[in-house]
Structure 1
Amino acid sequence: MTRRIGTVRHARRTRSHALGRTIAIALAASAGFAIVWVQTLAMQFGGGIDTRDANPLVTKTPESPVEDLPGDPLTILLIGSDARSDENGEIVKDGVEGMRSDATVVAHLSGDRSRVELMSIPRDLQVEIPDCTLFDGTTVPGGYGDFNVAFSNGGRHGDPAEAAACTINAVHDLTDIPIDHWAVIDFAGFTRMVNALGGIPMCIPERIVSQDADLELDAGRQLLDGAEALGYARLRTAEVGDVSGSDLQRITRQQQLLERTLETALAKNLFTDVGALTSFIRAGAESLTTDEQLGDLGFMIRLAYGLRGVSADALTVTTVPWEYTDDRLNVLMTDDAPLMFDDMRHDRPLSVMSEGDSTSEWDPEPTTSPDADAPLVEPDSPNSAAPDNIDEILDTCGS
């Protein structure tokens, strides 16, 4: 239907011109701000992120479903590395050489950016590991075993891109989910990024003392700095605290930490505050290796802008559905796993969730009841500052 335009009087035309000038000035100002934003980001961390092309080593990429989907769904493989070189070597002092994956998460962003789904893959999930080809043409044979062997096979030369490519091949074979982008971050970068956020607020269910994790936390409301958050994420054994030693329980702690991290980022307007965003990315840039597109400045800005409306309620954190092997030393996928993979592959909300048991849960009956009204325990780090809505983030503490 066509709308008919009537005669415009002179006074009306003058107001229209004034309005047009106002809009033009506003648009120019907005464009100018965007340019300044981009330039600021470029100066702050341009070139700091190590970007690599791992595509030549990715042997087979599943085809994306041909569907009329809203927007452009993205799947990013996030890998935490315990590489023993440089600053990271000062954190990991266990005498083990090489590079291993300490955490592997498939992050799916729905096409309309209304959902973020994080699916952890257990390190000791028993799978077929494909052969791994390196940039020099050598091939590391695969075989049946722990999932994280894929990363260590690719990391024999200490190259994150080779390790990422071999892990991507394993994920493709396991899930049939096409990986669009990848990122590898080491412990040092994780520590700095947590500090850049001002710490991560957590509700600790019971007192924890672990010499191996270099961690000592009281029960209750805590603002973890980078070193404490890393120790909490890596915690496997403890002299004090009901820690099962299970990698699955550690995954649960890591997932809780990821949830709190997103909540903290949203509370601090990370995706819209140029200063906060630059500080956060700069903190991890030197310890971050990504594919070439994900590490591109313009792509990062568009991705952050697309996530500006995401709320904490839109986040789903889960694990590949699993069950123990007969000896209870490793885990296998259950029949629900292909359903979860298919939902993610087709950009559907997850219809199944992983179920654990007492060895994987991390909400034990606390030996010391956390007090929801107790003051927040903040670390000594001068970079730490609790977000303004700390009470909302920790509203479940002690419940």
Structure 2
Amino acid sequence: MAETAKRRAPLWARLCLAGGCVVLVASGGTAVTGQALISKYTGAVTDNSLLDAQAAEAAPKTNLQKGALNILLVGIDPRDAKTPPLSDSIIVAHIPADRSRAYLFSMPRDLYVEIPEFPAANVRTHHAKINAAMALGSQAGNGKIKVSQGFQLLSKTVSNRTGIKKFDAGAIINFGGFKKIVEAMGGVNMIIDQDVKSEHLKPDGSPRDRLSQCQGHHRCSRPYTGPQKVYKKSSKPVHLEAWEALDYVRQRYGLPRTDYDRQRHQQQFIKAIAKQAMSKDIVTDPGKLTKVMGAAGDSLTFAGGDHSILDWALELRDLNVDDMVTVDLPGGGLGTGGDYKGEQFDESVEGFFDAVQKDEVGEFLLDHPDFVNKEG
């Protein structure tokens, strides 16, 4: 009995992980892990070098019991180990000093921004779409890819655009990891807020056929043809299998607001799996809880700075899934047709970023209710 206790995290610790880290990555301990606990009990990867670039700027150590917290969550969909990954999903979690809420907002992957100088990857200051920062920063020379280095450049880019001086924690998870998490939970229930057609999959989940002129290369922007999986709008939660959930949150083509709708769906997905991870079916079942916690495995990389995951869990243990507010930052295209450069935020977003810096997000949203996702 004693040996078993040494090999497994005590139940209180696992429950603490499930409850306290609800705002991180998949939330509720479903994927987030950290420090010594991470490798021993979940198989995920701890890499505090994600935050090294900020530490090098002599940023003060994070005191989890004082002040607001900002966490950078990045989703990637790498093709292979030799291809620099693009950041397909960029989400910031802001937790105010009073720990009353967790606010989630997304940075559009095509947001046109200034990417700062980054000597480690021989990157010069220039303007480009924000998802390029991860790929550019990941190039470590001699054809080697260092994802944590790419995260550093992305973090610096997001910091410069939002005014957030530093991130207190960060995480990278690939979309395959999200699939494993949802599989471990037996699927996820979430509201489908609009009709969505899959660009990638047939109704049975198999890949759609490629156009004859798009075989064997990636030069076609929309290379697929034939029957499509369709997700019908519903006012009540719909049960999605893991492959369906992953496919749903990846779609943007055919949606009225394209990537802005996709961002909203990704935020809704995070909230839905957080809620499900906190359900009695999981937190009261030690076997299922352990399975869900370990589902991401090495698909997840987490950096908690100077604090362990238990420190984070204990500090955030009183946050409830219903206290998670998803935020819609308005924006639109910069240029059109051949002159399209990417996306840009509406001027009103600068007021939101100012509120984040001042830890006044709640007050800002009371004055600007249109920023709150009604379905999120």
TM-score, L = length of structure 1 = 0.65
2:2 maps to 1:36: no
Quick one: which amino acid aligns to residue 249 of structure 2? Answer: A
2:77 paired residue number: 82
Letter in 1 for 2:104: L
Equivalent pairs, count: 310
**Cα distance, 1:160–1:120 mapped onto 2, change above 3 Å:** same
Following superposition, the deviation at residue 165 of structure 1 comes to 0.3
Q: After the TM superposition, which parts of structure 1 deviate over 6 Å for at least 4 consecutive aligned residues?
A: 38-41, 269-273, 354-357
| Residues 1:120 and 1:49: Cα distance change in structure 2 (over 3 Å) | same
Work out whether 1:118 is the aligned partner of 2:104.
Answer: yes
| Helix, strand or coil at the partner of 1:117 | strand
Larger Rg: 1
Match of 2:86 in 1: 100
- Are 1:194 and 2:208 counterparts? no
| Paired residue secondary structure (1:257) | helix
Unaligned runs of 5+ in 1: 1-31, 90-96, 364-395
Q: Secondary structure at the match of 2:85?
A: coil
CA deviations 1:356-397 (Å, max 9, x no partner) are: 89xxx998xxxxxxxxxxxxxxxxxxxxxxxxxxxxxxxx9x
Q: Which residue of 2 aligns with 1:230?
A: 246
- AA matched with 1:105: I
Contact 1:195 1:225 in 2 (8 A): yes
How far residue 206 of structure 1 moved from its aligned partner, in angstroms, is: 5.3
Distance 1:352 1:213 in 2: 40
Question: What's the C-alpha RMSD, in Å, of the aligned pairs?
Answer: 3.9
2:244 counterpart letter in structure 1: E
Change (3 A) 1:173 1:60: farther
Within 2, Cα distance between the matches of 1:35 and 1:262?
21
- 2:208 corresponding residue in structure 1: none
1:127 aligns with 2:113: yes
- The DSSP-based 3-state class of the residue aligned with 1:335 is coil
Shift of 1:335: 2.9
Report how far residue 49 of structure 1 moved: 2.0
Any idea what SS the aligned residue of 1:112 has? Answer: coil
1:48 shift after superposition: 1.8
Greater Cα offset, 257-266 or 140-149: 257-266
TM-score (norm 2): 0.69
Question: C-alpha distance in 2, partners of 1:162/1:259?
Answer: 28
Counting aligned pairs with the same residue, the percent is: 26
Q: Which residues in structure 2 correspond to 1:305-344 (within 5 Å)?
A: 305-327=314-336, 329=340, 330-344=342-356
CA distance in 2, matches of 1:301, 1:272: 19
Q: Is the 8 A contact 1:132 1:150 kept in 2?
A: no
Higher RCO, 1 vs 2 (CA within 8 Å, ≥6 residues apart)? 2
Residue 271 of structure 1, CA deviation: 7.2
Question: Structure 1 residues 206 and 182 mapped into 2: Cα distance closer, same or farther (>3 Å)?
Answer: closer
1:175-231: CA deviations, max 9, x gaps? 221211110000111111122233221222455442425544344442112211110
Match of 2:261 among 242, 249, 272: 249
Determine if contact 1:212/1:237 at 8 Å carries over to the other structure. Answer: no
CA distance in structure 1 between the partners assigned to 2:51 and 2:65 by the alignment = 27
1:54 aligned onto 2:50: yes
2:231 to 207, 212, 217: 217
Equivalence for 2:126: 143
Tell whether the 8 Å contact from 1:124 to 1:146 is kept in structure 2 after alignment: yes
Q: Which moved more, 1:194-203 or 1:316-325?
A: 316-325
Taking the aligned partners of 2:41 and 2:188, their CA distance within structure 1 comes to 26
Comparing 34-43 with 50-59, greater Cα deviation is found at 34-43
- Deviation of the 1:102 alpha carbon: 0.8
Structure-2 change in CA distance of 1:227 and 1:62 (3 Å): farther
CA distance in structure 2 between the partners assigned to 1:70 and 1:47 by the alignment: 26
